[in-house]
Structure 1
Amino acid sequence: MPAAFLASGLALACSLPAQALEPFIAHYQVFNGGKEMGDATMQVVRNDARRWRVDLGIHGTTGLMGLAGVNGEQSTVFDLVGDTYRPLSQGTVKKAVFTKRQTIGVYDWRALTARWQGDIKESRQKPVPIQSGDMSGLLINLAVIRDAQPGKTLQYRFVDNGRVRPHQYVVATESEGVKIGDMSFSAMRVNRVQSGNEETVIWVVEGVPTPVRILQRENGQDTYDLRLVEYKGA
């Protein structure tokens, strides 16, 4: 199905209402260093009356990723506490031609600890203290969509795969034109600058439940780049 989003002709100079969480499925092209390397699927599904799940799968289909059989999948099961996305469990699978690495994590909100097991460093298998508002990486992507407003600074705590890190995102004060394939639209640019000259950029369009583009950079050079091809409500 063609992408369901259109260019927004409105300047995003005013505050926008937070987008309510809804099921969706989105398809992306994946680029590495500017070259198309495969595809990706992101989806949010409602498991039952209380629980949701967000998934991201990346599959190499061309070039070096395809030859190496590189594939990655990550999922987070979560519930809603007010407007907070609260992770309950998280799983990651990374596959190559001759290897498969898998980790599983559980967030215990009674004990206020999270713990991962599987193919993970021993130092990351120890219980990690957690607090209200902690999220996995996939949930932070959804939170950015929900929270982004022009000029706003977004603060989150990333707790994922045995690691704890503060994440800060800065939303541009004005929207910018973004072209992906044959489509052009007005989007909010959201930047996260990490240590070691790493940067993540997310482009958010009003009314679209998923990022229209996610770009990772290292030392000023583009690395992984996910560009939305189509999406629909699930």
Structure 2
Amino acid sequence: MTKNALPYPRALLAAMLLAGASAPAWAVEAFTAQYSASALGMVGEGQMSVTPQPGNRWQYALTVRNQAVDLSQKTVFDVQEGRMRPLSSSDSSRLLIKKKNVNTVYDWGKAQATWNGDVKPDRAGPVKLVAGDMDALLVNLAIVRDVAAGKPLTYRMVENGRAKPMNYQIAGKERITIGGKPQDATKVVRTDGDKQTIVWVVADAPVPARILQRENGQDTIDLTLKSWR
């Protein structure tokens, strides 16, 4: 709930979210998760999924839709030395009547990222890549993984023509309801000026149980997990 369009879905959806290497036992697994979604004050539906792709690659996809918003984001990635490594991404969004399409290429051979589509010239890149860099969608998976492993929630996100550090802090435990059942969740918070992203992680769920983005003290996007398989 992280590709800027709701108004900052990719930074949210992710908020929303790699500099640290994963534990040896960690591995990517396919899943499909259904969310209830609130954006611009309107209720809708959301979905996150990870599916295998040819060549030992994976695709992470996110959609959020209601009467005012239609967002579709996809990231193709692989895993190198325990790190999720973005290879390409595509973002298509409609916010009311405004449409935007952006594509990203993460060229690890040249160690640079570039952007094309509806981007300003000063945001087209290239931006230098370093080992552990991720986009915001992959941060979602990294947060879930690192909370479970007790690792620092510190990442470097390369997106929208820039590289940006992202640091999250654990803010305790809360009881939340997922699919009609109360569950204990770890609450994680990141504050960046007047923007705040809050993520709730529950045991065994492959994605955040809830992602809330706030701006100027007002909720802008709220995704709550309903089910996954």
TM-score (norm: length of structure 1): 0.81
What SS is found at the alignment partner of 1:142? helix
* 2:31 aligned partner: 24
What is the letter of the counterpart of residue 188 of structure 1? T
Q: Distance in 1 between matches of 2:79 and 2:179?
A: 35
State which drifts further: 155-164 or 145-154. Answer: 145-154
* 2:173 aligned partner: 175
Work out whether 1:207 is the aligned partner of 2:204: yes
Alignment length (residue pairs)? 207
Kindly provide the CA deviation profile for residues 61-87 of structure 1, in whole angstroms up to 9, marking residues without a partner as x. Answer: xxxxx1x4x201111100001220000
| 1:178 Cα deviation from its structure 2 partner | 1.3
* 1:43 aligned partner: 49
What SS is found at the alignment partner of 1:103? strand
| Structure possessing the higher radius of gyration over alpha carbons | 1
| 1:192 Cα deviation from its structure 2 partner | 1.0
Name stretches of at least 5 consecutive residues in structure 1 with no aligned partner. 1-15, 61-65
Q: 1:96 to 1:201 in 2, by over 3 A?
A: closer
Kindly provide the CA deviation profile for residues 169-226 of structure 1, in whole angstroms up to 9, marking residues without a partner as x. Answer: 1123x4321124622100111111112x211111111111011100001122222100
- Which runs of at least 4 in structure 1 moved beyond 6 Å after TM superposition? none
* 1:52 aligned partner: 58
* 2:131 aligned partner: 132
Percent identical among aligned pairs is: 41
* Aligned 1:142-157 pairs, distance under 5 A: 142-149=141-148, 153-157=152-156
- CA RMSD in angstroms comes to 2.2
* 2:114 aligned partner: 115
What SS is found at the alignment partner of 1:44? strand
Q: Is the 8 A contact 1:19 1:209 kept in 2?
A: no
Q: Is the 8 A contact 1:107 1:114 kept in 2?
A: yes
Work out whether 1:223 is the aligned partner of 2:229: no
* 2:101 aligned partner: 102
What SS is found at the alignment partner of 1:143? helix
